Structure 1
Amino acid sequence: MRFQTPLVPARLIRRYKRFLADAVLEESGEEVVVHCPNPGAMLGLKEPDIRIWLEPNTDPRKKLNYGWRLTELPDGHWAGIDTSVPNRVVKEALLARAVPTLAEYTTVRPEVRYGRASRVDFLLSGAGLPDAWVEVKNVHLRRADDWAEFPDCVTTRGARHLEDLSEMAAQGARAVMLYLVQRTDCARLRMASDLDPGYAAAFDAARAAGVEMICHGTSIGPGGVSIGPPLPVDPSPQA
């Protein structure tokens, strides 16, 4: 997935009201208000003076002229903060059959109703294969070693998705939770049980019910974001 407009570097002043941030453009020194497309806690990714990358807005219908897309990390690493990006990246990967565990599926349908008033991110089908119901979660929390962790705040909606997937597994379909790690300094995934014990418990219950837990890294840079290699998911109980 390539960004539609070349990104420009800036320095973060502050993030506030969940969806807004103030930043200073590096080239001109102009202070601007930018859209922050992330409602989560963004732990470690919103510190004052951190270098961020903005996408200029070319749509006159939008109120703000810039959207925050990336945070630059130490040692040449990157983190994507736009929570709409993972579904776009995964859709491209599914169509290109670049997700090894799902590569046999030939049809990709987004936003199909299922469960308790939910819409699954993707429903996959293929000749002779059981339907695969795939939910995608954005991961960008790292606190220790090379562990990526999910979630970074309480998500009752995320726990409900795990329950919906468990119901599909009970009906004989494939149910897959795909965690996409939108940062380049992580090599494995576990649940952040201290931040949301309810989600960790739901994760354990869903895995026991037959929901497949898979994780992929990403390749990230100012040009865009693409799917990376599979990453291991901690096999031990998470709650």
Structure 2
Amino acid sequence: MIIQGKKVEAVFEKRLNRFVAMVNLEGKSIKAHVPNSGRLAELLNPGAMIVLRETENPLRKFRYDIIMAYKDNILVSVDSILPNKLITEVLKNNKNDPKEVIIGKNDKKIRAMFEYDFVRPEVKYKNSRFDIGLGMKNEMGEKDGIKYYLEVKGVTLVEKNIARFPDAPTERGTKHILELVEAKREGFGAGIFFVVQRQDAEAFSPNDAMDPAFGKALRQAAKAGVDIFAYRCVVEPDKIELQKPVEIRM
């Protein structure tokens, strides 16, 4: 997926709150938007090299977004919106041209998702919303409702080559998993896709030390038949691509 916009490298100084940080750009300290509510403690440290994207919206409060950070010479995407866009694009593109399937060649569950007729973002399920809904068309060619619910989570934390999620307690994330379990029990397809936004992970595991409730819910989902995927990415200043699946360790 192409990452639009003009990019420039800068030096991270300090985080003022969840969404605002001070950075040094060409010798000048300025405020920048942090598009991620996670802690990012291992990435956004004083002196860390980062990548900024300049916004084209003149109404934005801050001119720059922090979209990437360097960690041990590895470029890590920290934009929490990108994983959702990436998976949506992959599902749509592979549906439009099956010859261009870039993931799931050896994964029947992923290949099955390409068989749905349409991809819809931000779909409602009871009193909540999931990131992506997949559905089929009826005999008249009309969209016939959502049949598969998919939640997407971006992962930035890697410890000893193991990607871990979350990097901060997430009641909302746990709630989503339990709702996927409910959807599965009602006969819908359900899955959660962990997008590791860096290329140095060999495995994925829930971060029980940070949020044991999330790990417990994820294991419950796996036992209930919810599909769980984890793929690492190749990250460059101008693009991010799914590279390969990583081992899931529960």
TM-score normalised by L of structure 1:
0.91
| Cα distance in structure 1, aligned partners of 2:17 and 2:29 | 18
Which of 153, 173, 198 is 1:137 aligned to?
153
Paired letter, 1:194? A
Residues 1-239 of structure 1 correspond to what in structure 2 (within 5 A)? 1-25=1-25, 28-75=26-73, 77-97=74-94, 98=101, 99-100=103-104, 101=110, 102-115=113-126, 117-126=127-136, 131-143=147-159, 145-234=160-249, 236=250
Percent of aligned pairs with the same amino acid? 30
| Cα distance in structure 2, aligned partners of 1:105 and 1:42 | 35
Paired letter, 2:239? G
Stretch deviating more after TM superposition (189-198 or 30-39): 30-39
| Cα distance in structure 2, aligned partners of 1:47 and 1:106 | 44
Q: Which structure's residues are more often strand, by fraction?
A: 2
Deviations 1:172-231 (A, max 9, x none): 221101010111211210011010011111111111111111111112111122222222
Paired letter, 1:228? Q
Paired letter, 2:30? V
Find the residue that maps to 2:244 and give its secondary structure.
strand
Q: Are 1:78 and 1:185, in contact at CA under 8 Å, matched by a contact in 2? A: no
CA RMSD of superposed structures (Å):
1.7
Aligned residues: 230
| Cα distance in structure 2, aligned partners of 1:84 and 1:158 | 15
Find the residue that maps to 2:221 and give its secondary structure.
helix
Paired letter, 2:133? L
1:22: how far off? Answer: 0.8
Q: Which runs of 5+ in 2 are unaligned?
A: 95-100, 105-109, 139-145
| Cα distance in structure 2, aligned partners of 1:104 and 1:7 | 37
Paired letter, 1:210? G
Q: Are 1:214 and 1:232, in contact at CA under 8 Å, matched by a contact in 2? A: no
| Cα distance in structure 1, aligned partners of 2:153 and 2:36 | 13
Q: Which runs of 5+ in 1 are unaligned?
A: none
TM-score normalised by L of structure 2:
0.87
| Cα distance in structure 2, aligned partners of 1:58 and 1:32 | 17
Deviations 1:141-196 (A, max 9, x none): 112x2100011111010111011100111112211010101112112100110100
Q: Are 1:140 and 1:182, in contact at CA under 8 Å, matched by a contact in 2? A: yes
Find the residue that maps to 1:14 and give its secondary structure.
strand
1:3: how far off? Answer: 2.3
1:127: how far off? Answer: 6.4
